[in-house]
Amino acid sequence: MRVIHWFRRDLRVHDNPALQRACRIGDEVIGLVVLHPSTIDRTKQLPRRLRFLLLQIEALKDSLARIGGRLVLRYGLPEHAVPNVVQEWGAKWVTWNEDIEHTDSDRDERIRQSLSAMGCYSGIEQDQYLVPLSVLKASRKEPIQTFEVFYKVWRTHLSEASSSSGEPAPEPLKAGRTISPKSDPFPISTQFHVASDKALPPPGEQPAIRRLERWIEILATPPSPQPAEKRVSPSAAVSSGISPYLRFGVLSIRQCMDAARPLLNQRAREMTRTAAELWVARLARREYYNYLFFHFPRVMQEPFNIELSTIRWETNQAHLTAWKEGKTGYPIVDAAMRQMAIEGYAPQWAREIAAHFYIKDLMLDWRQGMNIFYSLMLDADMANNVGNWQRVASFTPDADPFWRVPNPARFSREMDPSGEYIRRYVPELVRLPKEYVHEPWTLPHRGQTALRFFVGQDYPVPIVSHDQRREEIIRRYRTASHSE
């Protein structure tokens, strides 16, 4: 029996529940990818994230070929493409892993009904979460709101969560031999404008697994005993780099948790165990934001704390452009924004200071900044992007209070004391000593002359005064908090 597996956010052959189900059901399994027209325009140069996606699809095609499989590519609406491919191949089953991110929540059900009318069965599996939303929903009468409570409930169910199988989908993944419908040719780069980009992470499951293994090695290595000022600053590393692979399901969340489990063992070093716990909490926060997005979809456009929806935001195109281009005059903010523009990635702390500055210093509408992040990041995930911006804006129940407005220069000294991160992405400042790299405007004129570096000429003066803006944004939050 021929079975179609519809790949969505699960671009891998290892530890793929719906693909494994397809292989148990059928004696011939065909992979299908459907590219939606609203996501990809054939006529335009693609954003970096979509180029990354297409390269992952090519890598998936190669992975399937190595175990005897075949991948069919279609461009169009899934509600048309999936039934058409079923009819084309004469399939009796279609399997897929659920994805709650797409905005049309009824689409999968319409596809299932269309397939049923054709005499084709559907098999749908849960793949995105360590603890399925249905389990969390069943455990509480009312939706959980704070991460602290969510994490406690999530951890109680974590031991029940299935582990990764660690194995590729079993045979048979065989290309059709009895019929050979015409399928879109590979490579994808000949159909779409996919320019080479050395800044993109290498595509495929094996590079993703190697990055995960390297990250686990970093977590397992105790910090250097050197004095703090001689250690490698947080800017020089240390992030996992696996989030883009998680975003498209090139790695499964179960593979990540399985890799972390040995570090959570009581026999592990305390510092190692603490580092692993922090990372597991980060994985849990991804699921928390999806949980909030599922139960409170309004957070896409309005604050979780609805009374803060009356905050008055500014409309300043010059400030918006300076922030997006990394020319605000605050080096740590500019470095973060430039890294995102160049690489489609930035460490979580860098993203947060850039978002804090946008909301609390520039006082621009958080929704526009959120959308800019989504357009820039390789790992852009709708629920996590919304959740992080809501938290930075002090909208969620467990966010820092609105009157805590980070000072960019002070934050910069804490996270990048040597200025290494700043110099990497803001090369104009490469010759500045570390005493001034965080606040170039404080460098005396004599020093600027000696370095042949002039603030306002070689690098912007700060576009706003942090101290003044801090007072104003706190006033606006207080006004909104006390409004009827």
- The answer for residues whose C-beta is within 8 angstroms of residue 133's C-beta and 6 or more apart is 100, 290, 291, 294
Q: Is the pLDDT of residue 320 over 90?
A: yes
Give the pLDDT confidence of 412-459 residue by residue, as tens digits.
999 999 999 999 999 999 999 999 999 999 999 999 999 999 999 999
Q: Is the pLDDT of residue 355 over 50?
A: yes
Instruction: Provide the pLDDT confidence category of residue 231 given band limits of 50, 70 and 90.
Output: very low
Identify the DSSP state of 296: -
Is the domain of 132 the same as that of 114? no
Query: Is residue 166 within 8 Å of 261, Cβ to Cβ?
Result: no
Is the domain of 455 the same as that of 310? yes
Is the domain of 331 the same as that of 465? yes
* Residue in the structure block whose two tokens are 């010059």: 318
Query: Is residue 16 within 8 Å of 252, Cβ to Cβ?
Result: yes
Q: Is the pLDDT of residue 234 over 50?
A: no
Is the domain of 377 the same as that of 448? yes
**What would the DSSP string read from start to end of 356-379?**
HIIIIIS-B-HHHHHHHHHHH-TT
State pTM to two decimals: 0.86
Is the domain of 375 the same as that of 406? yes
Query: Is residue 294 within 8 Å of 131, Cβ to Cβ?
Result: no
Is 197 inside any structural domain?
Answer: no
Comparing 468 with 187, the larger pLDDT belongs to: 468
What integer best gives the mean pLDDT of the chain? 86
Is the domain of 390 the same as that of 426? yes
Instruction: Provide the pLDDT confidence category of residue 11 given band limits of 50, 70 and 90.
Output: very high
Write down which residue in 295, 323, 346 finishes a domain.
295
Range of the domain at 397: 306-481
Q: What per-residue confidence (pLDDT) applies to 223?
A: 58
Q: What per-residue confidence (pLDDT) applies to 194?
A: 52
Q: What per-residue confidence (pLDDT) applies to 175?
A: 42
Is 257 inside any structural domain?
Answer: yes
Is 43 inside any structural domain?
Answer: yes
Write down which residue in 295, 326, 348 finishes a domain.
295
* CATH number for 261: 1.25.40.80
Is the domain of 217 the same as that of 322? no
The closest alpha carbon to 346, from 385, 383, 320, belongs to: 385
Q: What per-residue confidence (pLDDT) applies to 230?
A: 34
Query: How many Å from the N-terminal Cα to the C-terminal Cα in the chain?
Result: 63
Q: Is the pLDDT of residue 236 over 60?
A: no
- The answer for residues whose C-beta is within 8 angstroms of residue 404's C-beta and 6 or more apart is 394
Residue-wise over 57-74: b if at least 16 C-beta within 10 A, else e?
bbbbbebbeeeebbbbbb
Is the domain of 159 the same as that of 246? yes
Is 191 inside any structural domain?
Answer: no
Is the domain of 15 the same as that of 103? yes
Q: Is the pLDDT of residue 285 over 90?
A: yes
Q: What per-residue confidence (pLDDT) applies to 50?
A: 84
Number of domains in the chain: 3
Comparing 106 with 94, the larger pLDDT belongs to: 94
Q: What per-residue confidence (pLDDT) applies to 66?
A: 83
Q: What per-residue confidence (pLDDT) applies to 142?
A: 86
Is 151 inside any structural domain?
Answer: yes
Give the pLDDT confidence of 123-178 residue by residue, as tens digits.
999 898 998 887 887 677 888 889 999 999 999 888 755 566 555 555 445 444 33
In whole angstroms, what is the distance from residue 263 CA to residue 281 CA? Answer: 14
The closest alpha carbon to 355, from 367, 342, 345, 343, belongs to: 367
Is the domain of 450 the same as that of 422? yes
- The answer for residues whose C-beta is within 8 angstroms of residue 201's C-beta and 6 or more apart is 52, 207, 211, 241, 244, 245, 378
On the CB side of 306, how many CA atoms lie within 13 Å of its CA? 4
Is the domain of 113 the same as that of 164? no
Is 187 inside any structural domain?
Answer: no
* CATH number for 28: 3.40.50.620
* CATH number for 464: 1.10.579.10
* Mean pLDDT confidence for 40-65: 80
Q: Is the pLDDT of residue 478 over 90?
A: yes
Is 175 inside any structural domain?
Answer: no
In whole angstroms, what is the distance from residue 285 CA to residue 263 CA? Answer: 19
Is 181 inside any structural domain?
Answer: no
Q: Is the pLDDT of residue 43 over 80?
A: no
Q: What per-residue confidence (pLDDT) applies to 141?
A: 80
Q: What per-residue confidence (pLDDT) applies to 72?
A: 93
Write down which residue in 253, 269, 295 finishes a domain.
295
Is the domain of 362 the same as that of 464? yes
What percent of the chain stands above pLDDT 70? Answer: 85
Q: Is the pLDDT of residue 186 over 60?
A: no
